[in-house]
Amino acid sequence: MNDWTWEWNPGYDHVAGGLPPGVVAEVERLAAELAALGRDAVKVGRPEDKEGGLREFDILGGRGFFSFLAVPRHQAIYICSITWYE
């Protein structure tokens, strides 16, 4: 078990406001899983050839993706944007 958390950056309304509830729930579920990975979250998603920086992760079978930052010094995952193809 680790002490990593996740949160919306800059905030829920900016990142997820207006999206379907199922999309938001899936991003929240994946964010919790990324936080459970802790430091290893810097390797998840795209780009695949390097660690760190802004990462992207597909959701719901490629119907969208979200961008996140894994910040080891804060022990946090920051969900920065969600792109949803309706």
List for the chain the helix, strand, coil content (%; round to 5): 35, 30, 35
List pLDDT tens digits, range 6-52: 999 999 999 999 999 999 999 999 999 999 999 999 999 999 888 88
H or E, element range at 21? helix 21-37
List pLDDT tens digits, range 29-42: 999 999 999 999 99
Number of folded domains in the chain? 1
Structure pTM? 0.92
Through-space distance between the first and last CA atoms of the chain, rounded to whole angstroms: 36
Assigned token pair, 83: 């792109």
- Domain span at 58: 5-84
